[in-house]
Structure 1
Amino acid sequence: MKCLSCKNGNMEASTTTYFADLKNCIIIIKKVPCHKCEQCGEILFSTSVAEKLDVLMDKAEALASELTIMEYDKIA
């Protein structure tokens, strides 16, 4: 699939580190599955991964201290 951002690169299966700056904390989730453009680095999450990230953010915001680092494959 071609990149929606640069229109030139191909999107390849990969993983990334997801950062979220919430009201009371910063969340870092490592090893999140994604598609990444080989040329510009644009990241695209599948619908199921995006939905899981939303759920994780809601849970993490309620439980987290100032900084939380998690691994996707261990919490999703």
Structure 2
Amino acid sequence: MKCFTCGGTMEPAQTTFFSQLKNCILIVKNVPCSKCRQCGEEYFDGDTIDRLEDLMQTAENLASELLIIEYNTTAAA
């Protein structure tokens, strides 16, 4: 796969996802992604995006300020 930003080569990697929600900040560690070897741009596949959206919804219902989640331990839920 080629990077949409620079045309570089994408490789499997993991990243940390940050999102500022209405009532908290969500940090999800070790999220699988594709990362460009040239520019560092990161892309998520559709399944990962769906899971992150689920986690954001759950975080808004549970957290009061800050929630840090390990992706690998919540992905099976």
Query: What secondary structure sits across from 1:27 in the alignment?
Result: strand
TM-score by length of 2: 0.94
Runs of 4+ in structure 1 over 3 Å off = none
CA distance in 1, matches of 2:61, 2:39: 35
The aligned counterpart of 2:59 is 60
Listed as ranges, the matches of 1:24-35 within 5 Å are 24-35=23-34
How many percent identity over aligned positions?
Answer: 55
CA distance in 2, matches of 1:60, 1:24: 9
Shift of 1:65: 2.0
The aligned counterpart of 1:3 is 3
Q: Is residue 2:18 matched to residue 1:15?
A: no
Task: Give per-residue Cα distances to partners, 1:39-72, cap 9 Å, x unaligned.
Answer: 1111110100000000110011110120111100
Q: Which runs of 5+ in 1 are unaligned?
A: none
CA distance in 1, matches of 2:64, 2:40: 31
Q: How many residues align?
A: 75
Q: Partner letter of residue 3 of structure 2? A: C
TM-score by length of 1: 0.95
Q: Which runs of 5+ in 2 are unaligned?
A: none
